[in-house]
Structures are given as C-alpha cells and as structure tokens.
A = this chain, B = another copy of it.
Amino acid sequence: MTRIAVDAMGGDRGPGEIVAGALEAQGDGLTPVLFGPAGLDAQGLELHEAPDVIEMHEKPAEAVRGKPQSSLVAAVRAVAEGTADAVVSAGNTGAVLAAGLLELRRLPGVLRPAIAVPIPARRGPSVLIDAGANADARPEHLLQFATMGAVFAEEILDVANPQVRLLSIGEEREKGNQLTLEAHELLAASDLNFAGNCEGRDLLEGAADVVVTDGFTGNVALKLLEGTIRSLLDALRAEIGATAPGKLGGLLIRPAARRLRHRLDPDTYGGAYLLGLRGLAVVAHGNSSRTAIASAVRLAARGVEHDVVGTLAARLPQRTEAV
C-alpha cells in the first residue's frame, strides 16, 4: 500500500478542496494521509495533527524553521520518517523545497534539487526542468537537471533514451548567454542523448523529451505558456461571442475546444516533481482544484511505484564525478 502524505492546508482554495482531491485519488493500493489541524473534516481519511499553517507569502526558510508543526513540514517529515512514501503540497513551493532540504536532505552527489514539470506538448508530453527551484544556477547544475529530467522521462513518461535539449535563444551552439554556452559544452560531452539547443517557440509544439533550463527562465517560461494559453482561449471566446454566427459556431466547436482545453489543462497533469531529494515531493499549483490534487497524488504514487528516487540515486553520482 502506497501512502501519500498530503498537506491539507496548502493551496488557495482551502482544505475542503484538498481533502476532496485526496479522497478522489484514494483506492487501487493508494492511501492518501492528511496533515492538518485537529477538527479538520478529513472525510474518513487518516488525519495527522499539524496545528500550524505556512502561508503563501511567508519566506520559505524562516517559515520552515519557525513552524516545524505546520501541515507542510509535518507532511514532508512523514516521508523522511518513513510513515509516508511521498508528499504532495499545493502550498508555498519555496517552503516545500526548504522543508525537503531540511527534513529529507539531498541525494548523495546532488548539487541542487530541481522542479520537473510535464508540458502537454502536441507531439506528446515533455519535461521542463528546472521550473523554478533555483533562480540562479551554474552550468554543472543544468547538467544535473538534465540527468534528473531524463530519469523522469524514462520512468514516468515511459520514454526510452529520452532526447534532451537546452532552452536558449537560437539552435546554434554559440547562441545563448554565458550560462547556456557553458552548459551546452557539458551536455554535449555527457552521455545523455543531447540534441542541442531549442527555442521558446518549440515548447508547446514539442521541443524534446526533456527541456533543460535554469529555474528563473523555466519559471518565466512555464507561467508564460500557461498564461498565453488561457489569454488566447479567452480572447477567442470573446471574439466568437461578438457576432450571432460566431456564437452558433462557438456552440458547434465547443467539444473540440473542450478536448483541447483538457489536454492543455495543468490540472490534468496535476503537479511537478521536486527531484534530487532523498524522498519524493510533488508540488501542485496554488490554485489547484480537487481534480488537480487527485492528479498530483496519483503522480506521486506513480513516482513511488517506479522508484524515481532510487533510480536517481543510482544515476546521479556517476554524473557528478564526470563534472
């Protein structure tokens, strides 16, 4: 039985939504375990008392040190203590990272944990890593992110020998900033299936199985992708609604638009892996719906089932020796 610790107090929509999502994911050998204050309506799920709450705006390191009994820290600690197999939080991402570093610690050889997000590209899902854990990164970090992304693609997306590309400002190896120019050399010399640079324009089309970047660029890119999809579909709806034939046409294309929206909806994926720790953590969007939480819990269980952490542990130290 896989046990997934769920931070019931993370997320903008309140604990009711989180509990509903956890409940939805329950079953088939998967047991969500809630962490939250006494008195929380756990809907019959196991509840571990954690009286404190870390808010979205709190400074991660301070909050984690100051609130060891928060739902977020307690849920992460459960993985460290072996009472849960993985943790899911839709709370403060920086705090999940800080709690992970403190309670789970890094895998041997890992320089920095990174956030891996599946992108619903047209040619099939690809992994964007790092999507925001490290605002400033060095070339050797990017090499490790690429390795971790490749393990994610193999184990979770079932891609054999995943192709890796480096997000930059031109496909030629001499195009980029200081960071990507140096990272390109490291990636080219590694035993990864590295296919060179890709550009922002390729991201939704499907640039590669793994797209590697620093956490600043990755976070800007991920939010830009999500925001552009939403803005564009909203703008199209407004244009369609402006005329009577457009409105009728809008009704007729609704199923098609819905299929597309579903494919592109982050809720369908539900969350991102925080990779590089001695335990698996999945971070979900702050405004996650119950569906997104359920997806995140299942994603965490899938990572446990495929032993993503064990695979990373086996693969990473070799890489770092080569740096």
| A contacts, CB < 8 Å to B | 57, 59, 122, 132, 135-136, 167-169, 172, 174, 176-178, 180, 199-205, 214-217, 219-236, 239-240, 242-243, 245-246, 248-257, 259-260, 264
Q: Contact between A235 and B122 (Cβ–Cβ < 8 Å)?
A: yes
Copies in the complex: 2
Contacts of A215 in B (CB 8 A): 169
Known A180-B216, A249-B253; 20 more pairs at CB < 8 Å? A132-B169, A136-B177, A136-B178, A168-B220, A177-B216, A201-B227, A203-B224, A204-B228, A224-B228, A225-B228, A228-B228, A228-B232, A232-B260, A236-B256, A236-B257, A239-B259, A240-B256, A246-B255, A249-B252, A252-B252
Which one, B174, B203, B220, B232, contacts A227 given CB within 8 A?
B203
State the 9 A-B residue pairs at the shortest beta-carbon distance, nearest first. A249-B252, A201-B227, A200-B224, A200-B223, A249-B253, A239-B256, A135-B177, A204-B231, A169-B219
Q: Contact between B232 and A232 (Cβ–Cβ < 8 Å)?
A: yes
Nearest CB on B from A36, distance (A): 25
Interface class of chain A by DSSP: helix
| Chain B residue nearest to A240 in the complex (CB) | B256
A239, B252: Cα distance in complex, Å: 12
Contacts of A252 in B (CB 8 A): 245-246, 248-250, 252
Given A199-B223, A200-B223, A227-B204: A216 in contact with B250 (beta carbons within 8 A): no
Contacts of A230 in B (CB 8 A): 201
Which one, B201, B242, B250, B264, contacts A223 given CB within 8 A?
B201
A312, B8: Cα distance in complex, Å: 53
Nearest CB on B from A252, distance (A): 3
Contacts of A236 in B (CB 8 A): 236, 253, 256-257, 260
Q: Contact between A256 and B243 (Cβ–Cβ < 8 Å)?
A: yes
Nearest CB on B from A272, distance (A): 14
A256, B59: Cα distance in complex, Å: 45
Contacts of A202 in B (CB 8 A): 227
Q: Contact between B220 and A205 (Cβ–Cβ < 8 Å)?
A: no
Nearest CB on B from A268, distance (A): 15
Q: Contact between A176 and B246 (Cβ–Cβ < 8 Å)?
A: no
Q: Contact between B221 and A220 (Cβ–Cβ < 8 Å)?
A: yes
A251, B203: Cα distance in complex, Å: 29
| Chain B residue nearest to A227 in the complex (CB) | B201
Contacts of A225 in B (CB 8 A): 200, 224, 228
Contacts of A256 in B (CB 8 A): 236, 239-240, 242-243, 246, 249
Nearest CB on B from A180, distance (A): 8
A235, B222: Cα distance in complex, Å: 19
| Chain B residue nearest to A204 in the complex (CB) | B231
A224, B199: Cα distance in complex, Å: 8
Task: Give the residue among A168, A204, A230 with the most B Cβ atoms within 10 A.
Answer: A204
A235, B136: Cα distance in complex, Å: 34
Contacts of A200 in B (CB 8 A): 219-225, 227
